[in-house]
Amino acid sequence: MAVGDGYRNFIFVNPFGNVQHQGTLNKALRRIIRDCNLEVLDKVHRGNVANLTNFSNHSLRNTFTTGMCEVGVNTKAVQEIFEYAHAETTMKIYAEATKDLRKSELINF
């Protein structure tokens, strides 16, 4: 997907302005996590500090999808925004998000 495809304002782009390849992005994320965790190891003796866990660009996508579901964005809109081929994919994420939200709401009631 390139800027010429009608999409703009990407978060992760390469030097040519095109969407960053997911493999390159995941490699950068792993490097960032590694560097942060190395920095944390230097500070461990000062207190209880947790390491970052591994995650990928797919994790970021799922987090954003879950957030949209939690605030009530129409599931059909979510499906189209994320270009899920099957409505079941959207519904699975939506069901998981709303299940957690229901638990939270019940506890706060």
HEC per residue, the chain: CCHHHCCCCCCCECCCCCECCHHHHHHHHHHHHHHHHHHHHHHHHHCCCCCCCCCCHHHHHHHHHHHHHHCCCCHHHHHHHCCCCCHHHHHHHHHHHHHHHHHHHHHHC
Which residue's entry shows tokens 């390139």? 2
pLDDT in the model for residue 46: 62
Measured distance between the N- and C-terminal CA atoms of the chain, rounded to whole angstroms? 45
Decide if pLDDT at 103 tops 70.
yes
pLDDT by residue (tens digit) across 41-60? 766 666 666 777 778 888 88
CA–CA separation, 57 and 64 (whole Å): 11
pLDDT by residue (tens digit) across 66-83? 888 778 888 888 888 888
